[in-house]
């Protein structure tokens, strides 16, 4: 049951435990405009009883979903996002902790990992645009990055992704939960603070929908799982494998679309992040930090990238898509050489046909030796 602290902010702390692992303290609160905020802490001693004293108006979302009959895809129209915060200075960063004289989205003087509802959500505002968008702050250190996190903190972020996937997948109308990180000004980030996002779509988004359609065709023709066959083929070939552990393999895909592109697959097939076991989460944190270090060493400069989790639709359906799915992470960059970017111009944007200027096997070799 919610408790009330002075000023009306509601705080609800408890500890949770995943698959026999260490307890994670999870504290829920509500910001002054009614949005939910959740603190996730490595230590059970952490106190998260801050009160958001900003006089914010209630969030009024006005999103619409419109269907494109030619592509068979949905487009979200969210005009209120035009007013979202854009590249503020470090002194005005809304994702840093609150300190005397500066109130931010996180009303505590420090934090480990924080999740809160995006004030400029792409979804919400009506029955035709159900869904939710959340911000995931990886650290209170404004000058850090995901690759600079400790293994324990990276492991906590994995737990947070799993928690939010499970919780958001239960919301009415949500079909697909998509955690991701945009890193770097070249990618188009509007806030430099280390953070990611989670979109809970009211539909299955186009990329996973297309992969699942291919998986259904493959299963009908072979009786096997497409994702498992791709992983097995890459592990057997070996030339594009970058890192391999007991539970995970990272490889550059044979038909990579992007100049730098690495996929991370768990060896055990599972539908989504909540299905990851304790040891699998541990190894992922170590291996992913290793990979991010190699990516930054590729051009001796922090690499702009998108890291995107691909997982099953949020709930079972008649197509059996959750049984066909195979959780994996895709990390890719638009940087094709030092000082040069890959632009999605005529062929990619106009025809949807990708042309890659970089040989995938060469990228894999350079990452192995980075």
Residue 58 to residues 30, 122, 126, 196, 224, Cα–Cα distance (Å): 12, 16, 16, 24, 50
Establish whether 103 is a catalytic residue.
no
Q: 96: annotated binding-site residue?
A: yes
> Which one of 176, 192, 195, 326 is the catalytic residue?
195
CA-wise closest residue to 188 among 309, 306, 350: 306
Pairwise CA distance, residues 39 & 59, whole Å: 21
359: Cβ–Cβ under 8 A, 6 or more apart, which residues? none
Pairwise CA distance, residues 161 & 155, whole Å: 10
Residue 242 to residues 116, 249, 330, Cα–Cα distance (Å): 34, 8, 13
The torsion angle over the Cα atoms of residues 187, 252, 149 and 196, rounded to 10 degrees, is 40
Q: Give helix then strand counts, H and E, for the chain.
A: 7, 17
Pairwise CA distance, residues 256 & 252, whole Å: 7
CA-wise closest residue to 47 among 27, 68, 75: 27
User: Cβ distance 145 to 194 under 8 Å?
Assistant: yes
CA angle 60, 61, 64 (to 5 degrees): 150
Q: 142: annotated binding-site residue?
A: yes
CA angle 310, 314, 319 (to 5 degrees): 90
Question: Which residues are documented as binding site for Zn(2+)?
Answer: 93, 96, 142, 193
Catalytic residues: 195
Question: Which residues are documented as binding site?
Answer: 93, 96, 142, 193
């Amino acid at each position: 049951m919610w408790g009330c602290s002075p000023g009306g902010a509601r705080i609800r702390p408890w500890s949770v435990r995943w698959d026999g692992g260490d307890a994670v303290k999870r504290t829920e609160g509500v910001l002054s405009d009614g949005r939910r905020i959740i603190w996730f802490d490595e230590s059970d001693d952490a106190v998260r009883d801050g009160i958001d004293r900003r006089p914010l108006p209630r969030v009024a979302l006005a999103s619409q979903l419109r269907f494109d009959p030619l592509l068979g895809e949905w487009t979200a129209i969210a005009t209120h996002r035009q007013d979202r915060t854009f590249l503020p200075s470090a002194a005005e960063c809304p994702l840093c902790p609150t300190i005397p004289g500066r109130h931010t989205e996180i009303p505590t003087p420090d934090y480990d990992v924080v999740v809160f509802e995006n004030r400029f959500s792409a979804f919400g505002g009506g029955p035709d645009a159900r869904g939710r968008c959340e911000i995931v702050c990886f650290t209170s250190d404004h000058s850090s990055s995901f690759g600079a996190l400790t293994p324990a903190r990276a492991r906590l972020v994995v737990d947070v992704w799993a928690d939010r996937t499970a919780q958001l997948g239960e919301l009415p109308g949500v079909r697909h939960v998509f955690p991701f990180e945009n890193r770097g000004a070249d990618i188009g980030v509007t806030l430099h603070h280390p953070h990611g996002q989670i979109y809970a779509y009211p539909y299955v988004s186009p990329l996973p929908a297309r992969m699942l359609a291919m998986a259904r065709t493959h299963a009908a023709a072979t009786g096997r799982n497409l994702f498992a066959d791709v992983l097995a083929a890459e592990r057997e070939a070996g030339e594009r494998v970058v890192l391999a552990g007991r539970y995970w393999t990272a490889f550059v895909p044979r038909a990579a679309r992007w100049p730098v592109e690495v996929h991370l697959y768990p060896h055990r097939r599972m539908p989504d992040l909540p299905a990851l076991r304790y040891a699998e989460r541990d190894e992922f944190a170590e291996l992913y930090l290793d990979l991010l270090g190699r990516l930054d060493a590729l051009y001796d400069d922090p690499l702009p990238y998108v890291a995107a989790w691909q997982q099953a639709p949020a709930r079972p359906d008649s197509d059996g898509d959750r049984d066909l799915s195979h959780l994996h992470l895709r990390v890719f960059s638009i940087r094709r050489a030092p000082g040069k970017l890959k632009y999605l111009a005529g062929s990619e944007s106009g025809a949807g046909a990708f042309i890659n200027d970089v040989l995938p096997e060469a990228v894999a070799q350079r990452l192995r030796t980075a």
